[in-house]
Structure 1
Amino acid sequence: MSVNTTIMISLFASVIALIGVVFTAVLGYLSQRKQEAFKKSADRQLTLLQGGLDSVREKDVKTLQASLDKIARLEVARSAGYKKIWSISGSLNLFGPTEEPDVRELSTQLKDWYFSHGLLIKKESKDLYFLVQEVLSFAIFKSLSFKRPSPELLFGSDERPVQLLDNLCRDYFGALDENGHFETLASFVGQWKRTINEQPVLEDKNWILLQLLLSRFRSQLLLDLGLAEPEETQ
């Protein structure tokens, strides 16, 4: 091999090596630019996503706050409406007035209350309201009297009056389940109506049934407000 040939081969190899270096440098430059472009694009997308999430969170917070405000207004209105029931139903309670209640007036007062506050009543309370009105309407139709048990019977013994009243209710209608379920109360009313249609009923039995229903109605209203159920709501 001549000297010229050796030089040419060496020069060619050097050119190839230089091209490789330049190519590698170009690739590195392009890769860095690509990485920078990708990072900028990713940062831009992340910024947009973060803004979207902030917008969604702000919207959710506003929606939640609006719902909480609505619930608060509803509970205030419900509390104000429910308080009136205590004065309306006060004509029938264990330690209340001894005179016979005016069932027509009581029915009218309850009806007026219902059409003022009925939209606020939960289902359980609404069921009891209609059950009370069923008894009152039947009593008006049948011209029934509601005479409370005598003071001698309620307060003349060593037994607690509340327990005596429960015993009378059990004797007249049967055992009441612990939670006073609506189905049980409705069965008491059905039994009471059937008995009246067949034979005269003791006036205090009418009073005990109506007192029981109004007591359960008041207790259910307390539950609607989220208050603890009292042992007795007479």
Structure 2
Amino acid sequence: MRNEAQAYTARSESVLQVNKVLRNTYMLLALTLAFSAAVAGVSMAMNWPHPGLIITLVGFYGLLYLTHKTSNSSAGLLSVFALTGFMGYTMGPILNMVIGNGGADVVVTAFGGTALIFFALSAYVLTTKKDMSFLGGMMVAGFFVIVIGFVANIFLQLPALSLALSGLFILFSSGAILMQTSAIIRGGERNYILATVTLFVSLYNIFLSLIHLLTAFGSND
């Protein structure tokens, strides 16, 4: 009887911990999305130029590293807002360019598509509670394919390859959302800051990739 009571208590504590991480993750995700959108709006209004590929990569990976190093302290919150704010700044010039070319409907459609993908994937995992860790091997393989394709396209500049990479980014980011949500509800992820970063970056990549695909196919009409 005592062992059963202890097991029940342990399960209850585990459920409470999972719910806490899930609640904190979604709350922080909403705040970082709002902050990033605000920074993107300022970037658009001020007509700030895009920082370029090198600065974007250095800034992103530098702030990502800082976020991981500080994720277990209160400084992690400042780091995650710095990261998402920087990503919002890089998004502003892109949106200005798309909207300036008459692509306001592309931005709206990409936003709606991103939201639909996120809610559908999250609802699937939260409802079924499936373990999505089996995607790990495919995600590693997909990562290397994307990196190789990205480097190759810097030199080749092939439109078809660029579109294929955008499609792969959407699939890869969707897999990341599935795995991260599954890790939270199954108790494998207890750090809501790291979980938020994974989900935010996935949404950013999906949104940007949808804009690229919609712009490319729309220009062929």
The structure that is helix-richer by fraction is 2
Q: Is the TM value for this pair above 0.5?
A: no
TM-score by length of 2: 0.30
